[in-house]
Amino acid sequence: MGTLLKLNQVSIDFNTRQGPLRAVHHINLEIGTGEIVCLVGESGSGKTITSLSIMRLTDYEGAVISSGELMFDGHNLASLSQKEMQELRGKRIGMIFQNPMNALDPLFTIESQLVDSILTHRRVTKPEARKLALELLQKVGITEPEMRLKQYPFELSGGMLQRVMIAIALSCDPELLIADEPTTALDVTIQMQILQLIRELKDTLGMSVLLITHDFGVAIEMADRIAVMYAGAIVEQGPARKLITAPEHPYTQGLIRSVQSYHSHSEGLYTIPGSIPPLQELPTGCRFHPRCAFASERCRQEEPVLALTREQHQVACWNTAEAGQAFAEYATHKETAAPINNLAALPAEDDLLVDIQQVTKTFPLRGSLFRRSKKAVHAVDNVSLRIYRRETLGLVGESGCGKTTLGRLLVQLEKPTAGTITFDGQDVSSLSDREWKELRRRMQVVFQDPAGSMNERWRISEVIAEPLHVHIDLNEQDRMARVKETMKLVGLNPDWHTKYPHELSGGQLQRVCIARAIILKPSFILLDEAVSALDISIQSQIVNLLKDLQRELGLTYLFITHGLDVVRYISDRIGVMYLGKLMELAPAEELFTRPAHHYTRALLDANPSMDPDHHAQSSISDIELPSPIHLPTGCRFHTRCPAATERCRTEQPELREIRDRHWAACHHPL
Amino acid sequence: MSVKSIATPVQPLRIKRRAERRFRSVKSRHVLLALSVSVLLFILFSAVAPGWMASHSPTEMSESILASPSAGHLLGTDQYGRDIYSLLVYGSRQSLLIGVGSVLIGGLLGSVLGLTAGYRGGWLDSLIMRFVDMMMTIPGILFAILISATLGPSLKNMILAVGLSTFPGYARMMRSQVLSIKSAPFIDAASTIGASHFMILRRHIVPNCLPPLIVMATIGTGTAVLISTGLSFLGLGVIREIPDWGYLLSLGRSYISVAWWISLFPGIFISFLVISINLLGDELRNLLEPRSRR
């Protein structure tokens, strides 16, 4: 197998007002012909800018390849002119991006965009190009390609658009495909289909793939080799399997242990302390040493370089021996996931806090001026759900399933179309403004985007104190004392209260949001994708914090997410939603080990695991999610269900208890 | 395709130049800012204490009629022998009053309407915005003429006329600003905390609407001076012993072939005022960005 692309000591600098800022430092990376290499790293690790440098798109980002060479099939890409690069881009190197919805021009049809890209690089006539476009769409598994060609991007779903993007990238048979987080914006069932497609295409076309991801699960699914990046440098790389089972760099070990600890039943998740340092404040010596348990004096002084430790495996660490031993010890002692299928361990179901009864929410679509539209989006359809005091109820489902709307209904950010919601015995829709304000004190929300959910013009102390302003008359001194006390409780340095939001990292900001939520000592917190936007190492810190707070303050959580690993770890019971319906409701461990609904099963199957022997698969029919405007009759899932029968097509299944505390809405439960 | 020698550290020239250009532009921005501040300070002083700034009395008629700029009369004299420079200094108060006053009226009225429409939504939004649209269809200058003509020429009416003709722009801008802020997650966060509408408006929405409003207001000040100039030029301005800049400009019209300085210098003063205020407004917006605060 020859080498197609070789990055040799490549460094990339950003030009800033304060002078050049090193974003990527002396990285070496090789991609062989027909090989999938995964570049794994958390946000800010420099993985995206590395991929852009291969296309020399860095020039447009105000960055400069300041040293090193990028050898692609005998050419040094770093020394080519932009014009010469244009010859390579699209033709020999294709690229797909994270968000397919933004990567296509909304004004042009799929056909014109696909044909354009073919005509740019190939000497064919327009009719020939059109034929090629059709073939390409078939190749990337798009059903009814003739119809799709005529459509505009907004008419296609995210998964299909990503397929179109891949088709465009493939239009000139590139030797190298760069995929930058190609499935991060997609649902887990669609993600599997796209990843499978990339793997098949690699096999049939013999191209090389550089896959950039933050998700170790995806990397294990896909990669022949994995390179792990941290703060602008590659810290470890080698064949995928060995890298996962026997990582040698403490950072890789930490990441893998964090992910794996979601499947354990230990008290807290394994976490790497601290967070990625900003580029301006990189520590001396090894850039990981402030967060490393094995850091020695040498690590503080001297920067380690990538060195071969075993066959094809390189690590940049001074203490691999110690670290390797520690991980081996962990691996042998690792709990072999003894599932506590013990229903008695669950919180008692006698102390009802939230009772959602037959709640429905529809959003009418706007018709035109002369024609009233009768159409509506059925976001939540006749859902009943109970949440008991001190429990964590997880709510999972793919985008558009109505889980977020249900949460918003609960905290009255939306009014239900039908049904009642009772909080601690009070019907929330019948309350007067004053009673409702009192109730607000006891139910709080933490949103997905911590930076967006605070006013960026306010200092941290003002953000945290906002609920106090609304509800409690305190003098300035008492208020500050309370703010600082809460900051300590959520693990923030109280001296930071004068800072502005943009001075804190994402994880710290989410702590601020949590502090704001608990400062009034509520009994219930809605966590709407509260950890989904955070990096793995930060995510586990926040999950631990949430668990601790729940224990200390006796909180009840409704945890809404699409992340299956997190929800399994944090929840006592889990509800699964699909197209506005609650499909299944069961204790967490029961749901994961014995799912009853075929949809739940499909979700679990598609979830990439950390086990290199276990491949995720798509057990769902290769059909797109139906639109929430034109819902299928009968069981909502029957269009994609492998076990659908005539009855499923006509009769809507009711939610019924099929095992102890295990409810499912399915005619043919597993 | 030519492949150049390998392993040389590459520094694409174009990029380097771009960086240099950016550096230079930072420097020139500071110079421009200093210039515009001094221009504004000069005009402000003239408005407050014209006696100190002027070289002659504005009503003093010298014997040299229509004299070109010289050491005695820095910017020349008009047809009555009055010193142009001193007339400009004394006229600055009126021009500035019109600029600031009309922006206050237009900005305040427009903002309140836009804020209400955007936050409240529904039928009130439609009602207010249709009214604003209606006002927008009438050209600003025409509207100002209408008011000046019906209410008669006075400083107060001039301010009112210019202010009323500019408010639709503020209303539109404020409404769209409110709409985008209203959908931000931190507004949801505030309402789940239990904050009242008044609190959300006062503490979240208004402060976040201010930066574009300030920019628009500074630019509006310049525009207002221009509109008032136009009105004066048409003879609908304030007719007083001491003409404002626009009126002076129009007075010079008849003598443009023999005494270009009567029209040119008021024109230059107006342009300088407008440009300086705009530059200052840009800078103010940058300062208001929280990210630049530390």
What pLDDT does B2 receive? Answer: 39
Contact by Cβ (8 Å): A54, A5: yes
Assign residue B283 a region: left if phi > 0, alpha if psi is -120 to 50, beta otherwise? alpha
Contact by Cβ (8 Å): A520, A441: yes
Q: Compute the distance between CA of residue A226 and CA of residue A237 in angstroms, rounded to an integer.
A: 6
Q: Compute the distance between CA of residue B142 and CA of residue B140 in angstroms, rounded to an integer.
A: 5
Lowest mean pLDDT among A4-8, A103-107, A274-278, B285-289: B285-289
Q: How close B26 gets to chain A, by Cα (Å)?
A: 9
More confident residue, B246 or A404: A404
Q: Compute the distance between CA of residue A193 and CA of residue B100 in angstroms, rounded to an integer.
A: 62
Q: What are the helix (H) ranges across A594-655?
A: 598-606, 646-650
What pLDDT does B132 receive? Answer: 93
Instruction: Give residues with Cβ within 8 angstroms of A79, minimum separation 6.
Output: A69, B3, B4, B5, B6, B8, B10
Nearest-by-CA chain A residue for B291: A502
- β-partners of residue A656 are A664
Does the structure show a pLDDT above 80 at A611? no
With a pLDDT cut of 70, the percent of chain A lying above it is 95
Q: Compute the distance between CA of residue A593 and CA of residue A615 in angstroms, rounded to an integer.
A: 17
Encode A372-430 in three state secondary structure.
CCCCEEEEEEEEEEEEECCCEEEEECCCCCCHHHHHHHHCCCCCCCEEEEEECCEEHHH
Does the structure show a pLDDT above 90 at A446? yes
Interchain proximity B15–A62, CB inside 8 Å: yes
| A 5-24 residues inside an 8 A Cβ radius of B | 15, 17
Instruction: Give residues with Cβ within 8 angstroms of B108, minimum separation 6.
Output: none
More confident residue, B34 or B67: B34
**C-alpha closest to that of A42 among A276, A293, A200:** A276
Distance of CA A643 to the CA centre of its chain: 29
- Dihedral, CA of residue A397, residue A662, residue A559 and residue A429, to nearest 10: 100
Domain ranges of chain A: 3-92+172-331, 101-171, 351-442+562-664
Lowest mean pLDDT among A324-328, A423-427, B107-111: A324-328
Which residues of A fall within a CB distance of 8 Å from B294? 500, 503
Helix (H, G, I), strand (E, B) or coil at B79: coil
Question: Strand runs (DSSP E) across B49-187, as ranges?
Answer: none
Q: Which of A78, A457, A513 comes nearest B10 by C-beta?
A: A78
Which residues of B fall within a CB distance of 8 Å from A441? 194
What pLDDT does A546 receive? Answer: 94
Lowest mean pLDDT among A63-72, A242-251, B60-69, B256-265: B60-69
Task: Report, as an integer, the average pLDDT of A635-639.
Answer: 89
DSSP string, A486-507: HHHHTT--GGGGG--GGGS-HH
Q: Compute the distance between CA of residue B288 and CA of residue A515 in angstroms, rounded to an integer.
A: 27
Helix (H, G, I), strand (E, B) or coil at A39: strand
What pLDDT does B19 receive? Answer: 47
| A 455-514 residues inside an 8 A Cβ radius of B | 455-457, 466-467, 469-471, 500-503, 513
Test the B interface: residue of A52, A67, A434, A457 with most B CBs within 10 Å: A457
Order across the sheet with A233-239: list the strands: A93-96, A176-180, A208-213, A36-40, A225-230, A233-239, A313-315, A307-310
Residue A463, token pair as written in the block: 């953000």
Q: Compute the distance between CA of residue A136 and CA of residue A45 in angstroms, rounded to an integer.
A: 34
Does the structure show a pLDDT above 60 at A340? no
| Residues A458-492 pLDDT 10s | 999 999 999 998 888 889 999 999 999 999 999 89
Task: Report, as an integer, the average pLDDT of A527-540.
Answer: 87
Does the structure show a pLDDT above 60 at A337? no
A199 touching chain B per CB within 8 A = no
Q: Compute the distance between CA of residue A401 and CA of residue B42 in angstroms, rounded to an integer.
A: 64
Q: Compute the distance between CA of residue A670 and CA of residue A661 in angstroms, rounded to an integer.
A: 16
Q: What are the helix (H) ranges across A594-644?
A: 598-606
Q: Which of B23, B26, B290 comes nearest A457 by C-beta?
A: B290
What pLDDT does A620 receive? Answer: 67
Interchain proximity A500–B11, CB inside 8 Å: no
CA distances from A366 to A406, A590, B244 (A): 22, 43, 53
- β-partners of residue A234 are A229
CB half-sphere exposure, B50, CA atoms < 13 A: 17
Q: Which of B9, B186, B208 comes nearest A67 by C-beta?
A: B9
Q: Compute the distance between CA of residue B47 and CA of residue A549 in angstroms, rounded to an integer.
A: 63
Test the A interface: residue of B6, B192, B203, B286 with most A CBs within 10 Å: B192
Interchain proximity B194–A445, CB inside 8 Å: no
| Residues B192-216 pLDDT 10s | 888 889 989 998 999 889 888 888 8
Q: Compute the distance between CA of residue A322 and CA of residue A250 in angstroms, rounded to an integer.
A: 10
- β-partners of residue B204 are none
Does the structure show a pLDDT above 60 at A127? yes
Residue A54, token pair as written in the block: 């291969």
A75 touching chain B per CB within 8 A = yes
Total structural domains in chain B?
1
Does the structure show a pLDDT above 50 at B14? no
CA angle A563/A569/A572 to nearest 5° reads 110
ipTM of the complex in this document: 0.77
Task: Report, as an integer, the average pLDDT of A174-178.
Answer: 91
- Which CATH number is associated with domain A351-442+562-664? 3.40.50.300
Which residues of B fall within a CB distance of 8 Å from A76? 3-4, 6-7
DSSP-derived letter for residue A652 is: P
Nearest-by-CA chain B residue for A517: B193
Task: Report, as an integer, the average pLDDT of B64-85.
Answer: 82
Instruction: Give residues with Cβ within 8 angstroms of A53, minimum separation 6.
Output: A10, A12, A24, A63, A65, A70
> How big is chain B, counted in residues?
294
Q: Which CATH number fits domain A3-92+172-331: 3.90.950.20, 3.40.50.300, 3.40.50.980, 3.90.470.10?
A: 3.40.50.300
**φ, ψ for residue A174, nearest 5 deg:** -70, 155
Task: Report, as an integer, the average pLDDT of B14-27.
Answer: 51
What pLDDT does A266 receive? Answer: 66
**C-alpha closest to that of A23 among A3, A54, A53:** A53
Q: Give the CA diameter of chain A.
A: 77
Query: At which residue do the structure tokens 């990503």 appear?
Result: A162
Task: Report, as an integer, the average pLDDT of A607-629.
Answer: 72
Burial of A311 (0-12, 13-18, 19+ CB in 10 A): exposed
Interchain proximity A437–B15, CB inside 8 Å: no
Task: Report, as an integer, the average pLDDT of A318-347.
Answer: 70
| Residues A558-589 pLDDT 10s | 999 988 888 988 999 999 999 899 999 999 98
Residue A200, token pair as written in the block: 């098949």
Query: At which residue do the structure tokens 């020939």 appear?
Result: A128
Q: What is the mean pLDDT of chain A?
A: 86
pLDDT interval class at B3 (50, 70, 90): very low
Residue A121, token pair as written in the block: 């690089």
Query: At which residue do the structure tokens 């295990």 appear?
Result: A662
A135 touching chain B per CB within 8 A = no
Task: Report, as an integer, the average pLDDT of A428-444.
Answer: 87
Q: Which of A80, A441, A502 comes nearest B291 by C-beta?
A: A502
Contacts 24+ apart (CB under 8 A), A295-299: A295/A319
Query: At which residue do the structure tokens 């706007």 appear?
Result: A366
pLDDT interval class at A184 (50, 70, 90): confident
pLDDT interval class at B294 (50, 70, 90): very low
Residue B180 belongs to domain spanning: 26-57+72-292
A84 touching chain B per CB within 8 A = yes
